[in-house]
């Protein structure tokens, strides 16, 4: 696990400087494990239909072992202001990048699974400093980018019960500690559930919620009745078909993580190739490209994997799926203005999103996918700016 440099907390509520300092022994151990991987057999001509192809993963793992430079990416992360604080008994790590613009709007940005703060590296400067990136200074944001409790640099949680709503309450407390009275929320995947919940638990302070890669609360769950299907347009029916296909043939990871997260944790925590395959398969399934490398820089993808590997948080991140499945929570109606960005691989449908969200902006794009901040940062940046402009 990376060592961190922090001042000793004087109280649980103190915000402490945070710095990643990975022991060389941890990197040497990773390379040794990669070199000693025990590879499985593979049926011929399977492609991606049965999981990650052997040839693809062997080549990527060898790149990870011999060419990828964690120190380079660790240095880049440490160039950003990072902090940690204790909220509701757990550690919360976060980036806090303030804009030089005096009227910047605070915005808390939440990643998903299997993502991390690494997803947002390309959007930080354009959002905090639009003046230097061809934008209007009036669109500037102060960014707060937490690592979800149980994920990556926040480290594992120490008790059960960390649902989307509890995470949202923790982030509301984080924004209070930072002194932000009015702020927006943005997120994808898990973040597209935490961010709307943040609006629900802190409506007096959240001015708007913007989501991408939205699922629960923004889509139906097939099978649908024939009468309901008949009301849908062609685009909506196509998305329903994709949702059904996902539930039938693409949700194995979610079933395991929501029922037996501890069991899968042993494999992912012990085997770096196992952790790599578990995450890379999602990048292949959810990016708008044939191979994940075609959509996302492979070293950026490996840096994302490293934050799970070095912190040993594969199991604690998987626990979120278990908590949500067994919580009985369901999105309550929200009056907070909400914007939805639907990228090419997304499956949100407006008529269903409107059942529990106050949709004031709905944007659809013909490229990009689940990891929009990595795949189509230009589109995401523009949509976030456009959505929040009238809410400032």
Question: Which residues are annotated as catalytic?
Answer: 189, 321, 370
Strand bridging mode 337-342 / 206-212: parallel
DSSP secondary structure string, 119-177? GGTTTHHHHH-GGGGTS-GGG-EEEEEEPPTTSGGG---SSS---HHHHHHHHHHHHHH
314-327 helix and 261-270 helix, angle to the nearest 10 degrees: 170
Contact assessment for residue 174 and residue 334, using Cβ atoms and an 8 Å cutoff: no
CA distances (Å), 125 to each of 137, 228, 344, in order? 12, 44, 25
Q: Find all residues with CB under 8 Å of 155, minimum gap 6, and list them.
A: 1, 91, 93, 311, 313, 316
Helix (H, G, I), strand (E, B) or coil at 94: strand
Q: Residue 323: in which H helix or E strand, if any?
A: helix 314-327
């Amino acid at each position: 696990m990376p060592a961190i440099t922090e001042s000793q907390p004087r109280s649980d509520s103190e915000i402490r400087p945070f710095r990643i300092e990975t022991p060389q022994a941890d990197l040497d151990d990773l390379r040794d494990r990669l070199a000693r991987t025990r590879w499985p057999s593979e049926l011929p001509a399977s492609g991606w239909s049965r999981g990650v192809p052997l040839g693809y993963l062997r080549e990527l793992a060898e790149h990870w072992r011999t060419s990828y430079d964690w120190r380079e990416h660790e240095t880049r992360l440490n160039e950003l202001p990072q902090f940690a604080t204790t909220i509701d008994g757990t550690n919360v790590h976060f980036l806090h990048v303030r804009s030089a613009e005096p009227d910047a709007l605070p915005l808390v940005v939440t990643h998903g699974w299997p993502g991390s703060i690494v997803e947002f590296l390309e959007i930080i400067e354009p959002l905090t400093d639009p003046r230097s990136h061809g934008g209007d200074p009036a669109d500037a944001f102060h960014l707060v980018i937490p690592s979800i409790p149980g994920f990556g640099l926040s480290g594992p949680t120490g008790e059960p019960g960390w649902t989307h709503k509890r995470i949202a309450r923790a982030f509301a407390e984080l924004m209070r500690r930072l002194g932000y009275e009015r702020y927006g929320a943005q997120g994808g995947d898990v973040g597209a559930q935490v961010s709307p919940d943040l609006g629900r638990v802190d409506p007096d302070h959240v001015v708007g919620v913007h989501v991408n890669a939205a699922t629960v609360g923004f889509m139906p769950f097939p099978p649908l009745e024939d009468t309901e299907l008949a009301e849908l347009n062609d685009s909506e029916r196509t998305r329903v078909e994709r949702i059904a296909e996902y539930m039938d043939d693409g949700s194995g990871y979610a079933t395991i993580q929501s029922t037996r997260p501890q069991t899968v944790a042993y494999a992912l925590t012990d085997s770096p190739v196992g952790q790599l395959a578990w995450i890379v398969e999602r990048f292949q399934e959810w990016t708008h490209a044939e191979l994940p490398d075609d959509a996302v820089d492979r070293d950026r993808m490996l840096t994302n994997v490293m934050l799970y590997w070095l912190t040993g948080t594969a199991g604690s991140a998987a626990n979120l799926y278990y908590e949500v499945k067994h919580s009985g929570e369901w999105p309550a109606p929200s009056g907070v203005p909400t914007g939805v960005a639907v990228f090419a691989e997304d499956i949100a449908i407006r008529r269903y999103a409107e059942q529990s969200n106050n949709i004031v902006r709905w944007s659809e794009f013909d490229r990009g996918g689940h990891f929009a901040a990595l795949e189509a940062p230009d589109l995401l940046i523009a949509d976030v700016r456009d959505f929040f402009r009238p809410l400032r």
